[in-house]
Chains A and B, each alone.
Chain A
């Protein structure tokens, strides 16, 4: 099943971890060497992940590059790795984003640089681990392992209000994760295994599915974040250093949606279908609510953070449309959002390093002062509002088409999000880049070569996915078809499932 002669997934998980260990051994005074090594390890890891992209078999829904070792036999839990079309792209995205994060932090991080780059490398390993795990306990370990370096990134290198934001982030996610752990243990008691593939092959009683669905929902909805558990995101994004915001936006919040795809839908198909409508309703609320609230923001990062709530609403809408277009659009939009919002945070980091302000009112005329920078920001703005030719369009179109197919009203309401999206992004662009040059912007240097390197790959992806999305959709097709194949028609309707669930609560 592994088409490569070496354990490629373990390599991409543990190479960054090894890098972090190596950094730990180096004196903190050798800052140049630390940065160079961090860059080297992230680059090496991206190079190591490329064979996955090149050797991936796009014709099968089976797990690929599978690795299996015994881990804790007493718990029947194994070190089991593998990826399919749903996870493959995110391994690559994680590896790419971490390079850009190192590049963008080059001059910005002066304090405790060693620990900073160690955190980035550790988070990279953990994130990739999450996407590769095929054992539920192993997954949970990676899932929680991700939290710690992220907590440090916000809490140590963040803005003035970083302590509040980091604790809020930690507690919010922990509350959700603990409920998921209860669910995992319950599943283990029932099935006697943590093996995700085996767990997926069983059909659980409906009431049990409903319980588990909401337990998982707690973890994944917080992570996405879905309305109404989204309020940690603006604080975390605003206070996090640029690299933290980028990782958060590009990869971390994708894990919630990934969780729905990897666990909720395949393991709990009946509950998923029964709960599809409420999930779509929450998604549509997130799309509109998140977009409208952007109009009230005065802080650059907070605005982009709220726009993430809206865009991730599209993702969950697509996923719970439970048809090919919706789910493929949803997964593609996860990638798109990672690229576009990640790039927007990179861009904000670039200007913040020069002005040290995030207030929109402090800007104006940036297009006059920094024309090349302005051009790139425009590209990502257009991708964010889903202009055809950019990646955002393909994702949003497929999602709205899928949503429209599943429920006409959901599609119609979701489409209004696109109007408001153009409103807040173009208004933001106008206030920051157009009009007269603000004193705080006057005389600033345009984007440097290093900064350009950090955003160029993202700009290339915007057009690559926009013009030839099949290069990416091709990965998804068999896995998504397989996923939806589990949704047997004729199951319980939403109402009967819900009554059964309520009965089981009092049973």
Chain B
């Protein structure tokens, strides 16, 4: 076991232990002095590991046996291959930058040390997740990042909305993990192991095998893949388990950037890519993944159109972008999905940190209707936010363009279903550009619409916050340049189509279909859609500011549906939450436990008591009564004896 690999997750864990035990009494507002060096060292080690992988030196090894019961044996161990390497870059880089940013952002919070402790625990858990070499450790990391998410969403736990949101995130994820857990068990029962290597090597042996579910034969690979995908839908907030992510914005904004944009929520995409050998066996499961992804991308984008909370717009945008990544996985282009995960990590973290910077300057204001004209007060925030928005809108040569286009192209070239999915995704790209620039125009342009007090305090954020913004902006612009498709690269004399071949050994490379001309054409269409989205946003929010209100009145019904997020929360409340509570209160406490079981438990002794009470009545103390009873008894006895005797 190479010790340096062990240190990558161990250092953040150590920082967590130090901060959580000593933070309250000793470190207090110096907690970052433990956290940042630990994460910086972890980042450096991770980079050296990535360097090793780039030179073909992957690693796989066990640390110790975690659980052994009969034939069930699972270790704690690490696998560092190309897929892990990409995740290591995103997790440790964004993790470190968010930590630095938080020093300024969380300054003066009474839970300062606690915040850094949780961030450290999160980075540890996320690293355990991406570095795992088996499914159970993956599950450990999976649940542990969920726990950190729960802690950090509900960080300001005195607020009911915050603690509600944390709880909701945990429970909704449990619904997904229910399937994920069963999928892992099914993998063990099928392959007799949970080690990636063993499972993926034997995976072709189960092609064509079926299991019976309620009389219907279902392909075993399909069943396993779909169960695993349940977990991914929860963690990566795909419809219908997306409801927790927008609420998760109750947490401090650096958390939204790190956990709910760049890293944890992408764990589902990572997991599906990691399990690509299983998914590849089942066209049904692949279609489900692709359709879920495309649908969620469109669905969330239509909600983002009307939201007025700056963080919620970005949250729905995250849900939508995660949908793109699943669309890529579903059409077999895992590399494209991971590529988008990687660029998205930078520009989306930047958007969130920019939003946090705005909130910092605006005394915590979230409503974009009360902002406006922030451009001149917060230039660094504005320009970095703008770069990220251009990136997400898919304008070349920004990072988002290359990764999104790769997905669109792969979808288009994957068969008839792919054409439909491409159309959905391309339309979503138009919506994405629109809502992203709606934010820019409403919040940063025009006149300031907040209170005088807010205007008085308005200021650019401190260096500790703007420097991470600038660093992330570099990523938002340039992160995509590792995947410039050869169709463009050849024209420019560049050979930068690196990421696909890099990930190839793990997730395979989709067979290139279609002519380069078609690829160029599609690229043109999607750039056009992005520009159109920006222009429409400008038309509505810069040139005709009264138009949005008018449209909302004319199309009041669809507007309300979008504003209220399709009423999914209300639906779950009526169909799941309330019925469960009703069963608990009215049926179980009221009837089965209360009346039936307790009725018997208390009823039998009571009946015995009553019988005793009535028997007592014959003890009258009157001698004549006793004599009567004796005579009667004697009569009955003799009568019975006679009957028996005669017989």
Q: Determine whether A418 belongs to the interface, using a CB cutoff of 8 Å to chain B.
A: yes
Q: Determine whether B513 belongs to the interface, using a CB cutoff of 8 Å to chain A.
A: no
A295 touching B581 by the CB < 8 A rule?
Answer: yes
Q: Determine whether B540 belongs to the interface, using a CB cutoff of 8 Å to chain A.
A: no
Q: Determine whether B59 belongs to the interface, using a CB cutoff of 8 Å to chain A.
A: no
B171 touching A400 by the CB < 8 A rule?
Answer: no
| Interface hits, A342-372 → B, CB 8 Å | 365, 367-368, 371-372
How many CB-defined contacts (below 8 Å) exist between A and B?
A: 132
Stretch binding the partner chain, chosen from B77-85, B155-163, B284-292:
B155-163
Given contacts A295-B581, A296-B585, contact A398 B72 (CB under 8 A): yes
What secondary structure prevails in chain A residues at the interface with B? helix
Q: Determine whether B638 belongs to the interface, using a CB cutoff of 8 Å to chain A.
A: no
Q: How far is the CA of A405 from the CA of B71 in the complex (A)?
A: 12
| Interface hits, B298-333 → A, CB 8 Å | none
Q: Determine whether A470 belongs to the interface, using a CB cutoff of 8 Å to chain B.
A: yes
Q: Determine whether A419 belongs to the interface, using a CB cutoff of 8 Å to chain B.
A: yes
Shortest C-beta distance, B234 to chain A (Å), equals 11
Q: Determine whether A427 belongs to the interface, using a CB cutoff of 8 Å to chain B.
A: yes
Q: Which residues of B contact A372 (CB under 8 A)?
A: 24
What secondary structure prevails in chain B residues at the interface with A? helix
Stretch binding the partner chain, chosen from A112-120, A178-186, A272-280, A428-436:
A428-436
Which of the residues A328, A404, A420 comes within 8 Å of B70, measured between beta carbons?
Answer: A328
Given contacts A296-B589, A387-B143, contact A419 B175 (CB under 8 A): yes
Q: Which residue of A lies closest to B141 (CB)?
A: A388
Shortest C-beta distance, B176 to chain A (Å), equals 10
B185 touching A411 by the CB < 8 A rule?
Answer: yes
| Interface hits, A465-494 → B, CB 8 Å | 467-470, 473, 477, 481
B68 touching A404 by the CB < 8 A rule?
Answer: no
Q: Determine whether A499 belongs to the interface, using a CB cutoff of 8 Å to chain B.
A: no
B67 touching A289 by the CB < 8 A rule?
Answer: no
Which of the residues B68, B136, B140 comes within 8 Å of A470, measured between beta carbons?
Answer: B68
Q: Determine whether B588 belongs to the interface, using a CB cutoff of 8 Å to chain A.
A: yes
Q: How far is the CA of A423 from the CA of B160 in the complex (A)?
A: 16
B601 touching A231 by the CB < 8 A rule?
Answer: yes
A231 touching B597 by the CB < 8 A rule?
Answer: yes
B72 touching A401 by the CB < 8 A rule?
Answer: yes
Interface size grouping (class) on chain B: 35 or more
Given contacts A171-B605, A292-B584, A293-B584, contact A367 B157 (CB under 8 A): yes
Which of the listed residues A293, A368, A477, A481 has the most CB atoms from chain B within 10 Å of its own CB?
A293
Shortest C-beta distance, B20 to chain A (Å), equals 8
Q: Which residues of A contact B68 (CB under 8 A)?
A: 470, 473
Chain A residues close to B by CB (< 8 Å): 168, 171-172, 228, 231-232, 289, 292-296, 323-325, 328-329, 365, 367-368, 371-372, 375, 382, 387-389, 393-394, 397-398, 400-401, 404-405, 411-412, 415-416, 418-420, 422-423, 426-427, 430, 433-437, 467-470, 473, 477, 481
Closest 3 CB pairs of A and B: A324-B70, A296-B584, A388-B140
15 A-B residue contacts at CB 8 Å?
A231-B598, A295-B580, A296-B584, A324-B71, A365-B158, A382-B147, A387-B147, A389-B140, A397-B136, A401-B188, A405-B189, A411-B182, A430-B163, A434-B158, A477-B70
Chain B residues close to A by CB (< 8 Å): 20, 24, 64-72, 136, 139-140, 143-144, 147, 150, 154, 157-158, 160, 163-164, 167, 170-171, 174-175, 178, 181-182, 185-186, 188-189, 580-581, 583-585, 588-589, 592-593, 597-598, 601, 605
Q: A415-B181, A419-B175, A430-B164 are in contact. List 17 more A-B contacts (CB 8 A).
A: A168-B601, A232-B601, A289-B592, A292-B580, A324-B69, A328-B69, A328-B70, A387-B143, A388-B136, A389-B144, A398-B67, A418-B178, A420-B580, A423-B171, A435-B158, A468-B64, A473-B68
